A and B are shown apart, each in its own frame.
Chain A
Amino acid sequence: MITITLNMSESLLSILRDTGRPGQQTCRIRLETGASVRQVLLKQGISPLLVPMIFLDNRKISVDTPLETDAVLTLHGPLAGG
């Protein structure tokens, strides 16, 4: 088992709030070693379509990246461009 510190940006949290699914800015979750980010999202009830950017310890990764060790996972929601 591994421990993931899960961060969510305000851009994602605000969408979750609007859909009646308030989330936390930071929480810790326990996972089977090798679980994918997609599984994390499913466990949290978050659609992968709402998360355009995912960072694992500050490195951008894809939704299918397996999580092998304890780490900080940060999920960014979509935001308008400039």
Chain B
Amino acid sequence: MLYGYAGHTLRIDLSSGNIEKEPLKPEWVDEFIGGRGFTAKIMYDENPPGADPLGPDNRFVIAMGPLSGLFLPASGKTHFAAKSPATGGYGDSNMGGHFGVTMKYAGYDVTILTGRAKDPSYIFIDNDTVEVRSAGHLWGKGSTAVEEILKDDLGQAFQILTIGEAGERMVNFACISHDFGRQAGRTGIGAVLGSKNIKAIAVRGTKDIPVFDPKGLLKKGKATYAACREKPGFKGWTPEGTAGITNWCNDVGALPTRNFATSHCDYADKINGKAILDELKITDKGCFSCPIPCGKYGLAKTKMGSKYVEGPEYETLALVGSNCELADIHAVAHVNWVCDELGLDTCSGGAVVSFALECYEKGLISQEQMGMDVKWGDLGSIVHILEKIAKRDGIGNILADGVQKAAEKIGGDSAKFAIHVKGLEWTGYESRNAPGMMLGYMTADVGAHHSRCWVLGSDVANAVGGSQDANVHDLISQGADFETIPKADHKNVVPLVLKSQHLRPAFDILGTCRLQYMEIGLETRYYEELYYHATGKKLDFNKDLLHLSEKIWHLNRMFNKREIPDFGRKYDYPPPRFYEEPIPSGPNKGHLVEFSVIEEMLDAYYAARGWDANGIPTKETLEKFNLAVE
């Protein structure tokens, strides 16, 4: 008996219509445990080398972890992976909500889609009944409408995953939506589903998950909830959720503004967590079994209408808000709603719109191409660009491929302000005075994504010297001379980056949200004990799990080497804006990261990882991690 797992892999070949349910491979469980471990292993082993990300051979993988679906704090994470149309390398994204949990209750730890359905379709899963059904009536509809239609047709117990128009048209930053506002947004995972002609997946599951020690798990689960409630950080996270750090990012000069031209704005108070509470919020919204619900469900009212929307989260506030100079919380929330309905990642969506606005401002995109006279901070302009992207209409067809590929076609000096790494747009932390954060973005396997590594707080501590800077905050608050945050030292950032890069996959592997550990401080022994009661196996978090995390980093690096021609060091460089243009204003005015520093950090990072000077894992490193890959 395989405890802690549903025990099966569901394979659906959409070209042939063949559907197979097979036992979950023990070697996956033994070596890669679950979630992001499974997806890394499956993508390397099963995706045909050189497969077109938007072709039938690309795998679309859904994976849960051994703790997913058990009644433990925030055990509702679902992991998705495919070869990314944005980067051409390994791509994944995860989300909370209830979808993966229900897949596990239906009996499936892993689902692998291959091929391409002949006509627009959706996948119907009701425990052992699995069918590919026509989705002609859903095609062209927004995410919310699809969820409503399928729940009305099938029943409220079904959990729905869907793409929007952007996914149907294979926009490179199309997302997957679920639960009226949760998204797996990054790496173009929604475009891959669209390439397979799959509009949605509907699942109902009513089976038990076998666990090794049900009574022990129940007792430990209750104790874990109680431990969460007693932690000092327990009550602080929920009120504003991730939006609570908006002003902080602005104060420390890390809030991307005007397509990352600068890192500070004078209207952060209008687009922060308090603005959400005062202007938008109706209720908190949490994922499966979460004790600290960080989602905010509210009503956005603008000249373009009133819309119910979950969000905005911090990333949306930063990339749709300040990065597009949109200084009104209702307008930001409306754009959030537009992105959700169209099925666009708000991170890349905001970044691509800001890139387009700068191209327009510099005359690289004409008014005729744009279709209107677009302006920074104008809701109508931003929505106009997003709709052109989702419909691949005119200039939208170029922007739909993301800033890297768009810059290649638009030309001029646009590549210098196309803010990405490996083809994935940079998220909400301007890093010219945050060398650790910048290195984290640069070396992330999926491209510039903050969820791979987040050390901005340590960068700030490094810059201000821990406790010796009280006057810095005084000066910033008073609007005085902003050249007050000293330059952060880059010398010792590698260990911090590695630590963060190894911690984060641990929770993705187990199938839980990381916030209980990172914000509340839930000790690792809880995860070890829960894992034992669920699976019957011993797991040392700091030894076994972090070792596996590191192994996944090597494996995904080798996936990228295999899939991307001439992959290596040059794919880890940040955009030129960050090493050529000093920040023109705000607390970090004058700072940039010199290219020599970038090279120095990469040298140190590769050496610490056991990679060669071109950033490729050495034979010795691969052997050390028992990876038989080339």
Taking CB atoms, residues of chain B closer than 8 Å to A46 are 466-467
Does A78 contact B313, Cβ atoms closer than 8 Å? no
From B587, which residue of chain A is reached at the shortest CB distance?
A49
Which B residues between 180 and 218 are near A, CB-CB below 8 angstroms? none
Question: How close is A69's CB to chain B, nearest CB, in angstroms?
Answer: 19
Q: Shortest 10 CB-CB distances between A and B: which pairs?
A: A81-B314, A10-B521, A7-B232, A52-B248, A9-B233, A81-B242, A45-B467, A80-B454, A82-B313, A48-B473
Write 6 A-B pairs (CB below 8 A) sorted by A numbering.
A9-B519, A19-B466, A25-B232, A45-B466, A49-B252, A52-B248
From A79, which residue of chain B is reached at the shortest CB distance?
B519
A48 to B473 CA separation, bound complex (whole angstroms): 7
Does A74 contact B232, Cβ atoms closer than 8 Å? yes
**Residues of A that sit less than 8 Å from B by CB:** 7-11, 13-16, 18-21, 25-26, 38, 41-42, 45-50, 52-53, 55, 58, 60, 63, 74, 76-82
Taking CB atoms, residues of chain B closer than 8 Å to A81 are 242-243, 245, 313-315, 317-318, 428, 450
Question: How close is A27's CB to chain B, nearest CB, in angstroms?
Answer: 11
Does A49 contact B518, Cβ atoms closer than 8 Å? no
Taking CB atoms, residues of chain A closer than 8 Å to B456 are 78, 80
Which B residues between 291 and 320 are near A, CB-CB below 8 angstroms? 294, 313-315, 317-318
Does A11 contact B519, Cβ atoms closer than 8 Å? yes
Question: How close is B185's CB to chain A, nearest CB, in angstroms?
Answer: 9
Number of interface residues of B (CB under 8 A): 51
A79 to B428 CA separation, bound complex (whole angstroms): 12
Does A82 contact B520, Cβ atoms closer than 8 Å? no
The answer to the question of B247 belonging to the interface, with a C-beta cut-off of 8 Å to chain A, is yes
Q: Name, among B232, B470, B472, the residue most crowded by chain A CB atoms within 10 Å (CB to CB).
A: B232
Taking CB atoms, residues of chain A closer than 8 Å to B244 are 52-53, 76
Contact with A along B217-254 (1 / 0, CB 8 A): 00000000000000111011101111111011101100
Contact with A along B434-468 (1 / 0, CB 8 A): 00000000000000001100101110111011111
- Besides the contacts A19-B466, A50-B461, A78-B249, what 6 more A-B pairs have beta carbons closer than 8 Å? A7-B232, A14-B518, A19-B462, A25-B232, A47-B469, A60-B239
Taking CB atoms, residues of chain B closer than 8 Å to A42 are 467, 470
Does B242 contact A82, Cβ atoms closer than 8 Å? yes
Given contacts A80-B451, A82-B294, contact A55 B235 (CB under 8 A): yes
From A42, which residue of chain B is reached at the shortest CB distance?
B470
Taking CB atoms, residues of chain B closer than 8 Å to A41 are 470
From B516, which residue of chain A is reached at the shortest CB distance?
A10
Taking CB atoms, residues of chain A closer than 8 Å to B251 are 49, 52
Taking CB atoms, residues of chain A closer than 8 Å to B466 are 16, 19-21, 45-47, 50
The answer to the question of B383 belonging to the interface, with a C-beta cut-off of 8 Å to chain A, is no
Taking CB atoms, residues of chain B closer than 8 Å to A60 are 239
From A18, which residue of chain B is reached at the shortest CB distance?
B458
Does A18 contact B461, Cβ atoms closer than 8 Å? yes
